[in-house]
Chain A
Amino acid sequence: MKLERDAVLHIARLARIALSDEEIETFGAQLSEIIGHFDTLNAVDTEGVEPTAHTLPLRNVMVDDVSRPSLPQDEVLALAPLAEDGYLRVRAVLE
């Protein structure tokens, strides 16, 4: 299945990535291959197989409601490109 240029641009916008024309071509082709793989999967006969959202035979992995120490603030802020007065600083987000 070939992914159209518009679809590639839509995906890029959702990921907040700017693409050059060349990249649109490259990634468009790669994404088409990935999508194409689902055609292969769809060809498998799943008659009588329950649909599932998870592949592991796990259920109810939960923890008790007990808190643990968090990280020191300076360590947290050191991970951010910009910090100010104990906060992470980012470009203005319009309300």
Chain B
Amino acid sequence: MRAAASRVLPMTTTPIAAKYETVIGLEVHVQLLTERKMFCGCNAAYADAVPNTHVCPVCMALPGVLPVINRKAVEYTVMAALALNCEIPQFSKFDRKNYPYPDLLKGYQISQYDLPLSQGGWLEIEVEGHEPRRVGIERCHLEEDTARLTHRTDAAGESHSLIDMNRSGVPLMEIVSAPDMRSPEEAREYLVKLRQILRYIGVSKANMEEGNFRCDANISLRPAGASEYGAKVEVKNMNSFRAVYHALQHEVVRQTAELDAGHRIPQETRGWVEADGRTVSQRSKEQAHDYRYFPEPDLPPVTLAPADVDAIRARLPELPDAKMRRFEGEYGLTRYEANLLCESRARADYYEAAVAPAGAGADDASRRYAKQVANWMLGDFARLLNAAGSDIADARVAPADLHALIALIEDGTISGKIAKSVFEAMFDSGKPPATVIDELGLSQISAADEISGIVDAVIARNEKPVADYRAGKQEALKFLVGQAMRETRGRANPATLTEILKAKLDAKA
């Protein structure tokens, strides 16, 4: 089936899939993590608020009010733009985008039209099994969010709408990509990468499910090798990365079938219907837009001198790609490990804090610690966090305690096996490993004297197995080792114990 093949392998060079090339551009809106709203003093953190309690004359658009630009929102947008390799023009202004809709109290949205805060950047993405590619960023601009609408139907079947203005005027950054993505996989990767960067620099929670990261997609197909774009279909109503991916996959299949059937694809807006797994035309919304943009007379323009931009650039943290490369080199990690550890800034910071006491270095000991911290974090630690559904930022185990635990394994105080139980207790209680070991009586018995006493007792109590061993039955030794280990509750070093046991048995033979 042609459609299915091109859906699964849009990037490959199989003859079937190569018939059409998929062209995708994404438009992402993210709420910025400022304290106040974009143009007024209302608190922007409205998520758990009672409706219409984060509202003032400015954000409810009473006549005669004057908006004032939130400096931090401008700085955050510039930070994001710099992280996306954009250029920051010295002169920028705000414009009114006019359209009547009840979620827009003023009847217009303050946005940016021809002179945005930034333009012309790129983001590098890498789909597994393919070379890294750069996706162009056309612009990154600042605007304000709208009020939130909900719909109700009363007992008589009459419906009406309700407005909550708490969201009205929250700073919203729009990031528009170039039509550079060639498959739903690339689109997903772009979103993952973009979200990661926004979270790293701390300008947004960037959580699609919470609604502070939203994505609309433009997708078209064109004959392979063509230079002109096909008719653009805009896809909306996607509430997760999964939904974006599936909606785009669906569009590739649908548009391929349309083109194969000789149909023309109309330029239109389609909504993703999650329950049906398909997009549907929203022709009702297709009335030609007439936004009548004009410069916002209430807001003087923004100018940013190169020194201002440099000052903002200086506040950018190390970005994920750079951090990943550094982890590979500095700590001798594999690319896979470095990638996972750098997934979030909290995880990467934790890793470095846990490695820190040993210091980064090329010597064996530092490398061994670096590797072991990685193993714990990607192994038992990740497993427990997953099971608890919590994030490393909230973990009770202090990085220094993870380091201490590894040190206790290294110096033989506990075995690797016991360390797992110790770590679980640390994870639950937040106590340092030494305390946990003390409380549970888990320190490894390595003193030969102590083990020797235990071994003597075991030999005395197990006459038959001892005789069997001495008669040449090797399995009997295993049994005796097991008995002795049980006696120590697993705290003895098995190698040491076996050695002592054998020596005693052989000596008396």
Contact = CB atoms under 8 A, between A and B. Distances in A.
Interface in A1-53: 10, 14-16, 53
A72 B54 CA distance: 9
17 contacts: A10-B290, A15-B100, A59-B301, A63-B36, A65-B71, A66-B41, A68-B56, A70-B55, A72-B53, A73-B50, A73-B51, A76-B165, A85-B162, A87-B51, A90-B161, A90-B163, A92-B158
Given A63-B70, A76-B52, A68 B60 contact: no
Interface in A72-95: 72-73, 76-77, 79, 84-95
B300 A88 contact: no
Shortest 10 CB-CB distances between A and B: which pairs?
A: A68-B41, A53-B295, A87-B162, A65-B72, A58-B300, A62-B71, A88-B163, A67-B36, A67-B43, A86-B51
Given A14-B100, A65-B35, A91 B160 contact: yes
B69 A63 contact: yes
A88 B161 CA distance: 8
B161 A91 contact: yes
Question: SS class of chain B's interface: helix, strand, loop or mixed?
Answer: loop
Interface string B405-423: 0000000000000000000
Nearest to A80: B163
Nearest to A14: B290
A92 B152 CA distance: 8
A68 B52 contact: no
A84 B303 contact: no
A85 B53 CA distance: 13
A93 B316 CA distance: 42
A14 B44 CA distance: 31
B101 interface: yes
Contacts of A65: 34-36, 70-73
Contacts of A66: 35-36, 41
Interface string B26-62: 0000000011110001111000001111111100101
Question: SS class of chain A's interface: helix, strand, loop or mixed?
Answer: loop
B303 A54 contact: no
A3 to B, nearest CB: 15
Interface residues of B, number: 53
Interface string B269-311: 0000000000000001000001010010101111100000000
Nearest to A74: B52
Given A56-B300, A65-B34, A92-B159, A87 B52 contact: yes
Interface string B78-106: 00000000000000010000101111000
A31 B69 CA distance: 33
B149 interface: yes
A60 B100 contact: no
Contacts of A85: 51, 162
Interface residues of A, number: 37
A72 B43 CA distance: 13
B162 A61 contact: no
A60 B302 CA distance: 5
Contacts of B71: 62-65
Contact of B53 (A61, A70, A93, A94): A70
A71 B55 contact: yes
A63 B36 CA distance: 10
A92 B292 CA distance: 26
Contacts of A60: 300, 302-303
Contacts of B34: 65
A71 B151 contact: no
A70 B452 CA distance: 76
B74 interface: yes
Nearest to B45: A67
A53 B163 contact: no
B58 to A, nearest CB: 10
Given A62-B69, A67-B42, A93 B161 contact: yes
A70 B103 CA distance: 19
Contacts of A68: 36, 41-42, 56
A90 B160 contact: yes
Contacts of A84: 152, 160, 162
A58 B69 CA distance: 13
Contacts of A91: 160-161
Most buried by B among A61, A85, A89: A61
Contacts of A15: 100
Given A71-B56, A76-B52, 19 more contacts: A14-B292, A61-B69, A62-B68, A62-B70, A62-B71, A62-B302, A63-B36, A65-B35, A67-B35, A84-B160, A86-B52, A87-B163, A88-B52, A89-B163, A92-B158, A92-B159, A93-B103, A93-B151, A95-B151
